[in-house]
Amino acid sequence: MQLTGAQMVWESLCREGVEAVFGIPGGAILPTYDAMSRCPVRHVLVRHEQAAAHAADGYARATGRVGVCIATSGPGATNLVTGIATAMMDSVPVVAITGQVASSFIGGDAFQETDVTGITLPITKHNYLVTDIHELPQVMAEAFYIARSGRPGPVLVDIAKDVQQATAEFEYPDSVDLPGFPAPHPPDIRAVEAAAALINAAERPLILAGHGVQMADATWELQQIVEKAEIPVVTTLLGIGDIPETHPLCLGMAGMHGEAYANQAIQECDVLIAIGMRFDDRVTGRLDSFAKQAKIIHFELDPAEIGKNVKPDLAVVGDCKDTLGALLPLIEERQHKEWIARINSWREESRERDILNLEVDELIPPFVMRQLWEATRGEDVIVVTDVGQHQMWEAQYYIHERPRQLITSGGLGTMGFALPAALGAQVGRPEAEVWAVCGDGGFQMTMQELGTLMQERLPVKIAIIVNGFLGMVRQWQQLFYEKRYAGTPIMSPDYVKLADAYGIPARSVTRNEEVAEAIAEARETEGPFLLAFHVKEEVNVYPMVAPGAGVGEMIRRPKPRIVQGYSGVEPSW
């Protein structure tokens, strides 16, 4: 059938099963927007293109499908860049569609012309500049194939305005064959057998599970292996949810702000089974001291990640679901009572240092996070966090029981992520209860998206941790820059009045006694709701692995009985 390039864009989205796109119109993408009215795809008008990319990202992480964002040329396209980079670092399938100036103007510094394919080259799996309408259907099909295949990631399609306006025969390919993006190889059975032999012989085995487990939908296989051989599990930040955190063999998150006993287990294990993770520096700390007692087995889809940061003793390349499925029957039923008892003794010692055991009158963020979990436990809840102290407190004190329950920016650490990603998650999972947990710094970077919530009537619940600082940076200044708080104190608007201006109900909370009631009010109110928790200002996240330190060299919160009269140590919080 004969279609314009603009109509081909929407027809292609329909062929790929796209239900929603997030974007803002502008001159160079206007023909495509003009064709939108004849398409059943839902368009969500955000207030800034960065939010469009984050919303597509949140949609993709919540649903497992490809997220789509759309913007015009020039500043519209460049505003997508942070969101595209965020998706790239965390392997999230996103297709970004941008308008470009007409083909005859490209390279002439035309109004709102930017070389967006050049700019996004290092932060996309692949990108395209389309200047011939006959290439457009093939490009669209390839973009979705690349975004979702193998290790997922973002793809950008930049379409010249005259291509959108031209007309040609539309023939959408039934399949895509791209030798540069091959399907994952089946598991190497010899490598799997060698891994099983190492695991079966281990006395102190430990699994370090990452985002790849959830991306491959391999959580069932992981839990079967864990229970069959009684192997404790630690996760990366993005791996939270690989196994229920209520499971007795789940030790929670490891790394810079991981549980102390999780980090101790890494340093003491004799076989470390890393699955679907890339040995990020936030997990490993100083590389030359990481897991020195362990034989390391790396299960990973992307061969380029093998040995990039940590050289494993054995690599098993392939899709996690396939490789763990092949491993499961080769694993022997075993118990590791001494190893588990040792870990549990470390776990008990950590409980003594838990900030929730301190008897304080002040409202502190960990208490808010635990109360949020208490209120929503067992229900279909997605928590989307921003980046900073509140992100780590959420990871530590909200107890996640399912994959895709926590959505957060890991690799790029993008402040301003939470609110737009939460609205994307809510569009993708309208039946779920979605919470955006933000700091007062990150929220102010994208708080204009309250307008999107209002216009779309998306029932996102917002919890802002207001402490008057860019909290994590302030913590670093306290610990490593002699408390010189340069540029970190931050003022906030009256969030209740701000929300009211958008027609969103809101409540300010200042006391412990109000927290549960306020959360209940937000949950019971139809539509969006904003809670501003005004917490004690200088509370720190512990444990903490200092920059350049080994993962076993943690700064820890003093035990309550030691805090009294302890001189020279400020961070009792």
- The set of catalytic residues is 49, 111-112, 161, 472
> At 550, is the secondary structure helix, strand, or coil?
strand
Angle between helices 136-148 and 5-15 (to 10 degrees): 30
How far apart, in whole angstroms, are the C-alpha atoms of residue 40 and residue 37? 8
How far apart, in whole angstroms, are the C-alpha atoms of residue 206 and residue 343? 11
Identify the CA nearest to 464 among candidates 448, 443, 449: 443
Whether residue 159 contacts residue 102, with contact meaning beta carbons closer than 8 Å, is answered with no
DSSP single-letter state for residue 80 = T
Residue in the block written with tokens 């920059």: 547
Q: Considering all CA atoms of the chain, what is the largest pairwise distance in Å, rounded to the nearest integer? A: 81
Q: What is the CA radius of gyration of the chain?
A: 24
Whether residue 62 contacts residue 382, with contact meaning beta carbons closer than 8 Å, is answered with yes
What's the token pair of residue 243? 């196994």
Phi-psi region of 233 (alpha: psi -120 to 50; beta: other; left: phi over 0): beta
Identify the CA nearest to 79 among candidates 101, 46, 110, 109: 46
The torsion angles phi and psi of 531, rounded to 5 degrees, stand at: -115, 130
Give the other-Cβ count within 10 Å of 201's Cβ: 12
Phi-psi region of 150 (alpha: psi -120 to 50; beta: other; left: phi over 0): left
Whether residue 212 contacts residue 276, with contact meaning beta carbons closer than 8 Å, is answered with yes
> ∠550-552-557 over CA atoms, to 5°?
115
> At 327, is the secondary structure helix, strand, or coil?
helix
In DSSP terms, 154 is beta-bridged to: 94
Q: How far is Cα of residue 41 from the mean position of the Cα atoms in its chain?
A: 25
How far apart, in whole angstroms, are the C-alpha atoms of residue 351 and residue 347? 6
DSSP single-letter state for residue 489 = B
Cα distances (Å, whole numbers) of residue 431 to 92, 381, 417, 427, 434: 22, 9, 22, 9, 9
Burial class of residue 258, CB neighbours in 10 A (0-12, 13-18, 19+): buried
Cα distances (Å, whole numbers) of residue 504 to 58, 173, 409, 531: 22, 45, 26, 11
What is the β-pairing status of strands 42-45 and 461-466? unpaired
Residues 6 or more apart whose CB falls under 8 angstroms from that of 15 comprise 141, 172
CA dihedral over 154, 155, 161, 165, signed as positive or negative = negative
Whether residue 98 contacts residue 51, with contact meaning beta carbons closer than 8 Å, is answered with no
